[in-house]
Amino acid sequence: MSKNRKTPTRPARKPLKAKPRIARPKAKPVELEADVAAQIAAEIDTAPPAPEPEPAPAPAPRPARVAACGLPFGHSPVDIGDPRIEEAPLWAAPRVSALRWALGIMLISQPVLLLGNTHALTNWANQQPVTPFSAPVLTAIQSWHDATARYGLDQPVARGAATWRALREARWPGQPPARPDQNG
Amino acid sequence: MLFPTLAFHLFFVAVFLFSWSLRGSAEWQIEWRKIGLLVASWIFYGAWDWRFVSLLLLSSALNWIAGNAIHANEGQQGRQKLWLTAGLVFNLGVLGLFKYYNFFVLQLAPVLTSMGWERDLPVLEIILPVGVSFFTFQGIGYLVDIYRRDTPPARLLDLTLLMCFFPHLLAGPIVRPTHLIPQFQTAPRLTREMVAMGLLLIVWGVFKKAVIASEISIAFVDPLFADPAKHGSLDLLLGAYAYAVQIYCDFSAYTDTAIGLAALLGYRFPRNFDQPYRAASLQDFWRRWHISLSSWLRDYLYIPLGGSRHGLARTCLSLGLTMVLGGLWHGASWNFVIWGMIHGGMLIAERLWKEFRPANLPHVPHWLGVVFTFHIVTLAWIFFRCASFADSMAYLGGLAALAPGAVTAGPLVVGLMLLGMGLHFGPPRLMPAIALRLRLAPAWAVALLLAGCLMLVEAMRPDGVAPFIYFQF
């Protein structure tokens, strides 16, 4: 690029015309004649006391300063973006309403958990007291756990638990093994 | 009923289906939805102890009466103050009776004996209602807000639901009436962003509680604090760090789960944690740790005590008093008072340093501020965790002795501690960024991911789940 680029020259400013100043007459101090001043003073002394001002009406109660919509947007961790902005990449699923989407997640995840997470069910059952009412339920849970285990559905959690147990029992070189109360 | 349990899982699925079956904006649908949520909250609380549901009801009803009376006496300052005082006395009375009565009686007895007035003061054998500190603070906040005209009086149903709403009932966050009651008065709104972020917060909360906090607690912290004399100084130092990570993962897990559950029901709760251990000063720490409590203490205690508007001496006094009372709020024990005094003392020191710092001194590097603040907070946590003052001194004595000894923390515990600390220095917008991606995925993919995450947590968690630490407060 040329360094000697011409810069556009500004048009010369028009000289500002000074506005004609309007001369204002100076206020003269009011001078009262001595007898007039004495008359006013005498009237003030003899004048009846001014009536008490009427009490001002009580102020109307102020409206409560309440936020109309509750927590302002951005103050909650779930306010993660402007909901008005719609961005849909190619891989995005067809838009369904948030509620239908949430219901879909709930309704699909429950059977998956029922099949693959029977450990949670049996752990819960093991903590319940055996009563005439609970006994059939607890037996059914154990049967369900056994049935899913026959198909290997318990394996992901079982293998994960075994790996985690091995990590829990790992020690530093020369460190004594963990006491039983240290192993959850 | 604890969040990361099967019983709560089934309970929440039922509540979710019920509440969204009444999703319309007709008046009767809004009302019945609230009634349903209220009954669900009572069932949730009653699963722990049915008797205290009546205490919740009584507290809500009396706060409602006092709030209406304050509002009805608009323009009559004296009467308003009388009703406000009555309401505060009731709320503090509940707290005092259940939480502090025995503590003060036990402190008073030796004082009276030394004065030659020996009496057997009655000690009450009562259970501390779970979450009593949280719902009484909500009641106090409601009354003061009405007195200050920050909120109009709520309907009985709205106020009762505000105080009993199960996601925040037991351990916060302390939700202000101005934040939640307007949300109760309209049909709740659900967006895919709320669902995605809510699910992420729930899964992340369950992981932090059931895996990180529980593992660190069972495998290392509990045995260490039970008998600190048996451990070397390095182990005790690691134990203090471990407890700092445990209490963060435990408490933030509760509030993350609470915020996520509320979001799935269409309600938005305020943020309660913001990577607190990356704070470079105590003042900064309290802007990041239990934000709903620190802002409550600021608005309803620190500012009425004078705040920073009446000179430096008054500011320091207000700070110290606020933190000591904040410490006592956590529990009736001298250890909590000392915990509050450490925080209050450091806040005062920071204020004085800011005021009188020589101008020619260089500024402390940010990283040094972070390290220093973390260690002050960790020191205070020792008093918070130990059962008594003597135990705390034994722990600190062992730490200062520089005695050699074996390290009992295994590689897994150390790894989880590093993970817990690493959470503070990761990108703060990571989770929202994941949620923004997740909201675009089809429901079946998110469902499989959710089930996979929960199964992973099931494989990693220790047997059983200990209650959240903040339940005792």
B117 or A77, higher pLDDT: A77
Return the residue of B nearest to A167 by Cα. Answer: B412
At residue A32's C-alpha, the angle toward residues A26 and A36, to 5°, is 155
What are the chain B neighbours of A158 within 8 Å (beta carbons)? Answer: 459
Reading the block at residue B150, the tokens are 């920050």
Position B466 scores a pLDDT of 67
pLDDT at B2 over 80: no
**Contact B197/A89 with Cβ under 8 angstroms?**
no
Q: How far is CA A163 from the centre of its chain?
A: 39
Position A5 scores a pLDDT of 46
pLDDT at A63 over 60: no
User: Average of pLDDT values for A111-138?
Assistant: 87
Position A32 scores a pLDDT of 47
pLDDT at A120 over 90: no
Q: Which of A66, A112, A164 sits opposite B460 (nearest CB)?
A: A164
Residues 233-262 of B with CB under 8 A from A: 256, 259-260
Position A135 scores a pLDDT of 87
What are the chain A neighbours of B434 within 8 Å (beta carbons)? Answer: none
B60 — pLDDT class (breaks 50, 70, 90): very high
B455, with CB counted inside 10 A (0-12, 13-18, 19+), is buried
Q: How far is CA B41 from the centre of its chain?
A: 18
Amino acid identity, residue B391? D
pLDDT at B59 over 60: yes
Q: Which of the residues B168, B231, B290, B330 is marked catalytic?
A: B330
Q: Which of A53-67, B91-105, B416-430 has the highest mean pLDDT?
A: B416-430
- What angle, rounded to 10 degrees, do the helices at A118-126 and A134-150 form? 150
B187 — pLDDT class (breaks 50, 70, 90): confident
Position A28 scores a pLDDT of 46
A163 — pLDDT class (breaks 50, 70, 90): very high
B5 or B287, higher pLDDT: B287
Position A94 scores a pLDDT of 54
What are the chain B neighbours of A181 within 8 Å (beta carbons)? Answer: 218, 223
Locate the domains of chain B by residue range.
6-188, 193-467
Percent of chain A with pLDDT over 70: 51
pLDDT at A57 over 60: no
> Would you list the DSSP string of B177-202?
HHHHHHHHTS-----HHHHHHHHHHH
Residues 12-71 of A with CB under 8 A from B: 58, 61-71
Position B252 scores a pLDDT of 93
Q: Which of B194, B263, B451 sits opposite A112 (nearest CB)?
A: B451
Rounded to a whole number of angstroms, the distance from the CA of A21 to the nearest CA of chain B is 50
Return the residue of B nearest to A88 by Cα. Answer: B440
What are the chain B neighbours of A70 within 8 Å (beta carbons)? Answer: 178-183, 268
Mutate to test the interface with A, among B180, B199, B455 (most CBs of A within 10 A): B455
Distance from C-alpha of B264 to C-alpha of B191, rounded to nearest angstrom: 9
Q: Which of B259, B443, B448 sits opposite A77 (nearest CB)?
A: B259
Residues B284-308 pLDDT 10s: 999 999 999 999 999 999 999 888 8
Contacts of B312 (CB under 8 A, 6+ apart): B351, B352, B355
Q: What is the mean pLDDT of chain A?
A: 69
Which of A89-98, B344-353, B450-459 has the least mean pLDDT? A89-98
Alpha helices in B125-268 (DSSP H): 132-147, 156-164, 166-169, 177-184, 192-207, 214-216, 222-226, 233-264
Position B5 scores a pLDDT of 79
pTM above 0.95? no
Position A89 scores a pLDDT of 53
Could you say which DSSP state residue B334 is in? H
pLDDT at B127 over 80: no
pLDDT at B267 over 60: yes
Distance from C-alpha of A38 to C-alpha of B261, rounded to nearest angstrom: 85
Rounded to a whole number of angstroms, the distance from the CA of B437 to the nearest CA of chain A is 9
Distance from C-alpha of B167 to C-alpha of B175, rounded to nearest angstrom: 11
User: Average of pLDDT values for B220-249?
Assistant: 92
Q: Is B268 in CB contact (< 8 Å) with chain A?
A: yes
Q: Is residue B168 among the annotated active site residues?
A: no
B123 — pLDDT class (breaks 50, 70, 90): confident
pLDDT at B245 over 80: yes
Q: What is the mean pLDDT of chain B?
A: 89
Q: Is A76 in CB contact (< 8 Å) with chain B?
A: yes
pLDDT at A16 over 60: no
B443 — pLDDT class (breaks 50, 70, 90): very high
Position A87 scores a pLDDT of 53
Residues B132-156 pLDDT 10s: 888 899 999 999 999 998 889 999 9
What is the complex's ipTM, to 2 decimals?
0.81
Q: Is B192 in CB contact (< 8 Å) with chain A?
A: yes
Q: Which of B190, B219, B444 sits opposite A184 (nearest CB)?
A: B219
B300 or A178, higher pLDDT: B300
Tokens 């590093």 belong to which residue? B418
Asked if the Cβ–Cβ distance from B444 to A108 is below 8 Å, we say yes
Position A180 scores a pLDDT of 64
Using alpha carbons, list the distances in angstroms from residue B428 to A82, B199, B257, B278, B417: 18, 18, 18, 11, 19
B470 or B287, higher pLDDT: B287
User: Average of pLDDT values for B227-256?
Assistant: 92
Which of A55-59, A166-170, B19-23, B44-48 has the least mean pLDDT? A55-59
Position A65 scores a pLDDT of 41
What are the chain B neighbours of A81 within 8 Å (beta carbons)? Answer: 193, 432, 436
Alpha helices in A47-133 (DSSP H): 98-116, 118-126
